[in-house]
Structure 1
Amino acid sequence: MGSTNQSFRHLDVLIVGGGPVGLVTAFQLAKFGHANSIAIIEKHPKSTQDQYGRAITLYPRSTEILDQLDLADDLAQECFACRSTVSYDKDGNEVQGRGWYFMENMKDTQWDFALVLRQKYQEEIFRQRLKAFGVSLEAPVELTDIEIAESMPANGYRVTATVEDGLTGEISTIKCKYLIGADGGRSFVRQKLEIPFEGNTTEDKWVRIDGIVECDMPKTRVYGAIESPTHGNVLWAALDHGATRIGFAYTAERQKGYKEFNEAAAVAEAIQSVKPFNLKFKQVDWYTVYSVGQRIAKSFFTSDCVLLAGDACHTHSSGAAQGMNTGMHDSVNLGWKLSMVLKKLAPPLLLHTYESERLPNVQKLINYDKDISRLMTMRLPIGWKGDPAADPNEILGVVMEEASTFTSGLSIAYEENAINIKGSFSSGTVKSQVVAGQRGPDVELQKPGTREITRLHKQTPNVAKFHLIVFAGEPEYTSKSLHAFTAAVEHSSLFSRTGLPVAWITIPAVSGPSAVEVLGVMPLGKVLYDEKHTAHQRYSIDVKHGAVVVLRPDGWAGTITTLGAEAVDELTEYFSAILSIAE
């Protein structure tokens, strides 16, 4: 990769913004084989970017998708793994089932906790992992102009970007096929292209302060809430490296006490916010005061060449701690699609599913956030039809519980489209059926020979390939349909093509000393045993019939077919609609 000292260069992708969203997007593209044709720039020098503060929490689904990119283990090494919560009323009495209580019930995942690691440390990890592919964050380098050649065909060099080196002042030009704006809520990319940012910013101000503290609160190494009559629903979050974050509403009444808001003011207000408990700061790492707003960009994908991700296309309060999580979901939804288009494995139209899938989920988050942010400032939601004298703290607990599976990310789903097709499989009246567009659940499996325990997500890493999971059931019942399916695959013109971005796994519902003997046929891909039937049951697949589950590269289910020869025709139709398959 070239440097900004060059006056001119061609790239496939220029990523603007060196935060977690930009870094993880760059990491994916590098991992998927594009390291020599991408660049990531950041206008702030690293010394500024390395400050403490900002986002801290990754919820289970975010960690799962980072795990499938082989990033989560590094984060877990440094994180504070939070599985405990607490809520205290204004008198310091513990109250049950309020605030962050839902965090204690995040099930159906190996990552059943809040991974708390300050953005500073996450970015360091992402930068190092990106650097291993030969790609370094270029900073301070600022994007100063964008021109789009509308007449250029899709997947051509439509974008001309002008950038300025913050150290030398040198101006250089980058022609690229795609520009990704991951440059935050004040996104230059979004503003330059005049993409409307719809929504509003309230007058509410919130404070966040991080540091090393001493407090006589009974439970401190938790995700907690203190129901303060003066500072709203106060956030108490145990952080990595022994630190703590305190967050609270900075009301107009409290603002009257200060000519300017500085560190001393932040500390004084934090001490007041946790009353009746006593608090002492041994060290302050970071603090901020900010206004709450909820906004969504009119378009996440414009001119067939510019994509927005993270805060550049949606902002909201930190009330439900969703900022970085939403950005991770954007990034991972986009990464494999862009890679396939760049490799000409899929047509550029695939990129349109990025906005159609992500935007409704962002809107859903913002709808929740509007209620949560008001309740955290001790006000009932707009349009509240319940008891006008209701306790906002109690209602907040209800709302956060209702939103819990969405907040954890485990219920985030995408509507039916070209890559989410219902398929022929049906499990009748079983309610837990996994359908196209839903997360593919992680399940425990056993490796042949050693019978070592593994997980499906570990065996389906995100390498920009679809995973075809053959749930082979019990061969005593499924032998005929499995033989017919494998024979049809062998004679398929689609699956015999080289370079097809698919990988196979076969999962019988029995085990034995020889996988081939167990199945009675040469398996497709690697074999993993499900002798306890837990995987078949979680996917609602009858062990007497079996099924074929297509998992998208990002881990969501693409389609599910019945097991048999006809499934190959169905799968051929599915992939023909997605991929650029030349005869």
Structure 2
Amino acid sequence: MVDKIDHVDVLIVGGGPVGLITAYQLATTLPPPHKIRIIEQYAKSSQDQYGRAITLFPRSSEMLDQLGLADLLAQQCFACRTTVSYDKDGNEVQGRGWSFMEQMKDTVWDFSLVLRQKYQEEIFREQLKKKGVALESPMGLVAVEVDERLRFGEYRVTATLEDGNTKEKSIVKCKYLIGADGGRSFVRRALQIPFDGSSSEDKWVRIDGVIDTDLPKPRSYCAIESPTHGNVLWAALDHGGTRIGFAFTKERERAYKVFNEEAAVKEAIASVKPFSLKFKQVDWWTIYVVGQRIARNFFVKDSVFLAGDACHTHSSGAAQGMNTGLHDSVNLGWKLSLVLRGLAKPELLYTYESERKPNVQKLINYDKDISRLMTMQLPEGWTGDPNADPNVVLGVVMAEAATFSSGLGIYYEADNVLSIQGSFAPAASANAVVAGKRVPDAALQKPGTFEATRLHRETPNTGRFHVAVFAGDPSHTGGVLAQLFLEIEKSSFFSNASLPISWLTISTRSGPSAVEVLGAMPYGKVFYDQQLAAHSRFGVESSKGAVFVLRPDGWVGTATTLGSSTLGEIERYFRRFLSTGLHGEKVDRGIVQARL
């Protein structure tokens, strides 16, 4: 008999990094009386192993930095800036394996942040608890129903939970349910969401521990081109550990009736030949089947989301699993927060799938090729030289995927709801900052002290948009600036204090008084860009200026020229999805785009 019913805004299923980061964002941005809960089926003592994901690439670190979490990870991480590749004879070869990692620039997080998932989760749980939300474990979801007769934003989802210790059942009614419960997601299966794709016959082994070796560069991200174990991963870990990963071929598998830790150690030693390897301590090991799958839908029944491995699985070949899940989480968190607070139209939630799914599909496509090449097989449908060396081809593929793998090149298509190409057009280049692309970081100075700061540091992800006015040189743009600030003050739209919008102004000139430098009372904070680092990176001419709308998650929403039409353009952008009273209404899928 279940007699305990709890009503919450959001129930998050899954206590891994994706679930924890989603919960953290919501706990940070949702004021009382909003309520969220996060549950995990397994007791964390049994889940807190050393293994699983290890690497965060620069864009993931940037997003965590804007959430105020990256510095905590950096305290414990191994900051990997060195890569090396060795051929089968132990000779160092250039431009292969993980070499793209040494070219990850345009960010202060220009390294691979290596910290095992165990330690990351400990940090995330602690910070989440400080926000008033504790992970409930062991607590499993055993049934879920969605009442589609109720309006969008009402308590449409009924979830039955079971305490893993007492076996006591309870009911949670929620407005939204987020399945971040891994590749075997109960949420996905319960909602009967197809999981398209397949598993291969390829198996890989991963083993972590403390080692002795004669490998010349052991504290690096290393590839060893083994003729028997594929393209072997050697990754320096946090706390002095090392991970070895290799292909477990049918030939190797036939040598073992039972594959246990002793066998994993033996094969790891064989995989890194001609180098020697001795394990002083084994922390963790696993063997798994390689495959790629993607959920047919990431958002269903206007109330249930999938994120992370629950909606996409792939090999660890490109080390993208946790990174892709964090991209899901950060994309979803602020959108759901705005809708729950009644500040955005409910239809905004559909952009989660429309933005994330194409990027996940790109990863799946890359991963299919990379995972085959790492097992010494050419990609399916390969039309090149049938005798090509898979290690050489792998180097080419990983180089082509470099900006995607680092996350710095991930973008959302322009001309959709949230990425609108405005009147500003920077000079054409591969790094052009346009709608849908990542907001680059840039050095700035604070007024008065001239203290150094960074754009990302001054535009944290608190669920608010940041409108950055690139003022250029006020001796040229002063008149236009004064008019813009005056229009903002008089605007009936922007004078609404509840709008989730913050302003900042960046001037290429500095002085003892920001007001005097700009020639007008600025709107929002002021920063100086004397070296033109920010203006140059954003492609803004000092004599003309421009205005960029920066999304809460650190992508460009739109960009306008600085002039008489600036405020009108920005207002039209926000009116597409911000709301003053539409929360809770019934939504018709067929007119979503038209209404937005």
Deviations 1:115-164 (CA, angstroms, capped at 9, x unpaired): 00000000000000000011111000010000100101101100000000
Deviations 1:508-566 (CA, angstroms, capped at 9, x unpaired): 11111111111000111111100111111100011111011000000100000111231
Q: Distance in 2 between matches of 1:436 and 1:426?
A: 10
Matches within 5 A, 1:262-411: 262-411=260-409
1:347 Cα shift?
A: 1.3
* TM-score, structure 2 as length reference: 0.96
Q: Distance in 2 between matches of 1:115 and 1:431?
A: 25
1:25 to 2:22 alignment: yes
Q: Distance in 2 between matches of 1:251 and 1:412?
A: 34
Q: Distance in 2 between matches of 1:480 and 1:411?
A: 36
Q: Is the 8 A contact 1:509 1:543 kept in 2?
A: yes
1:467 to 2:466 alignment: yes
Q: Distance in 1 between matches of 2:427 and 2:101?
A: 32
Q: Distance in 2 between matches of 1:291 and 1:259?
A: 18
1:582 Cα shift?
A: 5.4
Instruction: Rate the CA distance shift 1:6–1:550 in 2: closer, same or farther, 3 A.
Output: farther
Of the three residues 243, 246, 257, the one matched with 2:244 is 246
Q: Is the 8 A contact 1:165 1:171 kept in 2?
A: yes
Structure 2 match to 1:477: 476
Q: Is the 8 A contact 1:430 1:540 kept in 2?
A: no
1:320 Cα shift?
A: 0.3
1:6 Cα shift?
A: 7.7
Instruction: Rate the CA distance shift 1:352–1:494 in 2: closer, same or farther, 3 A.
Output: same
One-letter identity of the residue aligned with 2:280: K
* TM-score, structure 1 as length reference: 0.98
Partner SS, residue 75 of structure 2? helix
Deviations 1:148-188 (CA, angstroms, capped at 9, x unpaired): 00101101100000000011110000000000000000000
1:423 to 2:393 alignment: no
1:49 Cα shift?
A: 1.4
Percent of pairs identical after alignment? Answer: 67
Q: Distance in 1 between matches of 2:222 and 2:429?
A: 37
Q: Distance in 2 between matches of 1:427 and 1:171?
A: 58
Q: 51-60 vs 381-390, which deviates more? A: 381-390
Q: Is the 8 A contact 2:427 2:539 kept in 1?
A: no
Of the three residues 39, 51, 54, the one matched with 1:53 is 51
1:455 Cα shift?
A: 0.5
1:50 Cα shift?
A: 0.9
Structure 2 match to 1:491: 490
Structure 2 match to 1:212: 210
Deviations 1:225-266 (CA, angstroms, capped at 9, x unpaired): 000000000000000000000000000000011101110010
Q: Is the 8 A contact 2:107 2:440 kept in 1?
A: yes
Structure 2 match to 1:440: 439
Structure 1 match to 2:588: none
Q: Is the 8 A contact 1:211 1:244 kept in 2?
A: yes
1:278 Cα shift?
A: 0.7
Deviations 1:338-365 (CA, angstroms, capped at 9, x unpaired): 0000000011100000000000000000
Partner SS, residue 366 of structure 2? helix
Partner SS, residue 93 of structure 2? coil
Q: Distance in 2 between matches of 1:531 and 1:518?
A: 12
Structure 1 match to 2:10: 13
Q: Is the 8 A contact 1:488 1:565 kept in 2?
A: no
Instruction: Rate the CA distance shift 1:151–1:534 in 2: closer, same or farther, 3 A.
Output: same
One-letter identity of the residue aligned with 1:501: P
Q: Distance in 2 between matches of 1:323 and 1:147?
A: 29
Q: Distance in 2 between matches of 1:297 and 1:46?
A: 27
Matches within 5 A, 1:535-546: 535-546=534-545
Matches within 5 A, 1:55-204: 55-204=53-202
Deviations 1:105-124 (CA, angstroms, capped at 9, x unpaired): 10000100000000000000
Q: Distance in 1 between matches of 2:364 and 2:213?
A: 34
Structure 1 match to 2:533: 534
Partner SS, residue 528 of structure 1? strand
1:433 Cα shift?
A: 2.5
Q: Distance in 1 between matches of 2:431 and 2:440?
A: 11
Partner SS, residue 450 of structure 1? coil
Partner SS, residue 578 of structure 1? coil
Structure 2 match to 1:573: 572
One-letter identity of the residue aligned with 2:291: G
Dislocated runs of 4+, deviation >2 Å? 33-36, 427-433
One-letter identity of the residue aligned with 1:521: A
Q: Distance in 2 between matches of 1:565 and 1:125?
A: 48
Q: Distance in 2 between matches of 1:488 and 1:164?
A: 56
How many residues are paired up? Answer: 579
Q: Distance in 1 between matches of 2:226 and 2:364?
A: 25
Partner SS, residue 576 of structure 2? helix
Q: Distance in 2 between matches of 1:484 and 1:412?
A: 36
Runs of at least 5 residues in structure 2 that lack an aligned partner in the other structure = 583-596
Partner SS, residue 340 of structure 1? helix
One-letter identity of the residue aligned with 2:264: A
Q: Distance in 1 between matches of 2:366 and 2:417?
A: 28
Q: Distance in 2 between matches of 1:317 and 1:432?
A: 29
1:292 Cα shift?
A: 0.5
Q: Distance in 1 between matches of 2:388 and 2:430?
A: 35
Deviations 1:372-422 (CA, angstroms, capped at 9, x unpaired): 000000111111111111111011111101100000000100012111111
Partner SS, residue 177 of structure 1? strand
